Amino acid sequence: MTCFPRWYFDEWKMAGVDFEDTAQVAAFDRNQLSSTPEKEQALVQRLGISSGHTVIDLGAGTGTFAIQAALNGAFVDAVDISQNMLAYARSKAQKLGAVNIKFHQAGFLTYEHNDNLADFVITKAALHILPDFWKMVALMRIAAMLKPGGIFYLRDVIFSFPAHEYQTSINNWIEDSAKPEGEGWTAKDFEMHVQEEYSTFAWIIEGMLTRAGFEITEVSYPTPTFAEYLCVKKS
């Protein structure tokens, strides 16, 4: 077991939404419309995840992606810092007969992958939890978990708008995306994301990915506040 220095980031103190709360977990599973079984199965197909592949999902949440990857024959390590998220994900996996999933209570900065190097590492809507210095540490740890030529897929709230347009861009994002209470993420949720979490600019993330040893093979900015990267670990 690695012994981390005293100055190491304490990722057990979660920023933003408190997923240690059971009510938050159920609400999250309802509201996370970007992570339906159909959308996650489409991602599994797009990435080419199939029988015998090793897949690590970091910040796996309620497990929708991990379950779809396992149902497609992969061996999945679902990693999350939140015990409640993992318990919810485990019970969903049992109900759906997704047996090849190991659940680990750990995080980007503490998970130790002791099995075979992975074919795929996935992280969606989670890396923003870390400040930039620690994102870089996390990306280097991810590269070390992958086989040479292995795939890293990252999707998150990442800003591609010009920096000087930050006020209008953030206001427009919240105005366009917020839903009334009970129907999805509210304006308050978005405000808390910006205020307390660590979403950053695309050019910072892209510099980090390259320096961590990845080649970025596909980039897309579906909106000025979301980005998606498909990367290959360089040999």
Ligand X SMILES: C[S@@+](CC[C@H](N)C(=O)[O-])C[C@H]1O[C@@H](n2cnc3c(N)ncnc32)[C@H](O)[C@@H]1O
Give the interface with ligand X as residue ranges (CB under 6 A).
11, 14, 19, 32, 35, 58-61, 80-82, 85, 107-108, 124-126, 129
Give the residue with the Cβ less far from ligand X, 14 or 96. Answer: 14
Q: How far is the CB of 32 from ligand X (least distance, A)?
A: 5
Q: How far is the CB of 176 from ligand X (least distance, A)?
A: 19
Give the residue with the Cβ less far from ligand X, 106 or 209. Answer: 106
Q: How far is the CB of 235 from ligand X (least distance, A)?
A: 27
Q: Where are the alpha helices (DSSP H) in 100-233?
A: 132-145, 166-177, 187-196, 202-211
Burial class (CB in 10 A: 0-12, 13-18, 19+), 9: middle
Give the residue with the Cβ less far from ligand X, 47 or 165. Answer: 47
Q: In what order do the strands lie in the sheet with 75-80?
A: 101-105, 75-80, 54-58, 118-124, 146-157, 226-233, 214-223
For residue 9, CA distances in Å to 13, 97, 222, 232 come to: 9, 36, 31, 27
Measured CA to CA, the distance from residue 96 to residue 156 in angstroms comes to 27
User: Within 10 Å of residue 207's Cβ, how many Cβ atoms?
Assistant: 12
Q: How far is the CB of 137 from ligand X (least distance, A)?
A: 11
Give the residue with the Cβ less far from ligand X, 85 or 170. Answer: 85
Give the residue with the Cβ less far from ligand X, 108 or 229. Answer: 108
Give the residue with the Cβ less far from ligand X, 125 or 204. Answer: 125
Q: How far is the CB of 73 from ligand X (least distance, A)?
A: 21
Measured CA to CA, the distance from residue 133 to residue 88 in angstroms comes to 31
Q: How far is the CB of 164 from ligand X (least distance, A)?
A: 28
Buried b (16+ CB within 10 A) or exposed e, 129-156: bbeeebbbbbbebbbebbeeebbbbbbb
